[in-house]
Amino acid sequence: MSEVNNLFLYRHAGISNKSTLLHRKITFISILAYHVLIGIEYQLSKNEDHRCWKTIRTTLETHQRCTIILTDEKNRVHHIRQSGQPEPVHQDIYEKLNIKDPLIRNQASHLRRHDFSEERF
């Protein structure tokens, strides 16, 4: 019965079902992210690392990955993803969290580019 009452209240207040669903999804993702964050902090504290989340996030931001996009003579688009080498501070955090290097070293893919010449329009 409470679900019916909630639906009535949302409709009475002018809130659509779509916005209600969006609000629930955002709430779920926020709660999930909070639990992941707490799990990371807990695992680090078990390994005598008591840095706050902001420090960990700032430290790991420097371990990056870039994408190079090239087009070859056959008009194929190549996406080449290259990861940076983790620094010792990154490796320390990964080891304490029992994570192997999360960024794959090299990854390549190619797509066929569509020919958008003036004749097609």
DSSP 58-81: HHHTTS-EEEEEEE-TTSEEEEEE
Residue 75 sits in the same domain as residue 102: yes
Residue 19 sits in the same domain as residue 43: yes
Assess if residue 120 is contained within a domain. Answer: no
Alpha-carbon distance 107 to 68, whole Å? Answer: 11
| Tens-place pLDDT, residues 45-68 | 999 999 988 999 999 999 888 888
Alpha-carbon distance 82 to 26, whole Å? Answer: 32
pLDDT on residue 105:
62
Residue 40 sits in the same domain as residue 70: no
Kindly report which listed range (7-11, 33-37, 64-68, 115-119) carries the lowest average pLDDT score.
Answer: 115-119
Q: For residue 108, what are the domain limits?
A: 62-115
Please report which confidence band the pLDDT of residue 106 belongs to, taking 50, 70 and 90 as the band edges: low
Better-predicted residue by pLDDT, 68 or 102: 68
Considering 12-16, 45-49, 110-114, the range whose residues carry the highest mean pLDDT is 45-49
Q: State the total domains in the chain.
A: 2
pTM: 0.60
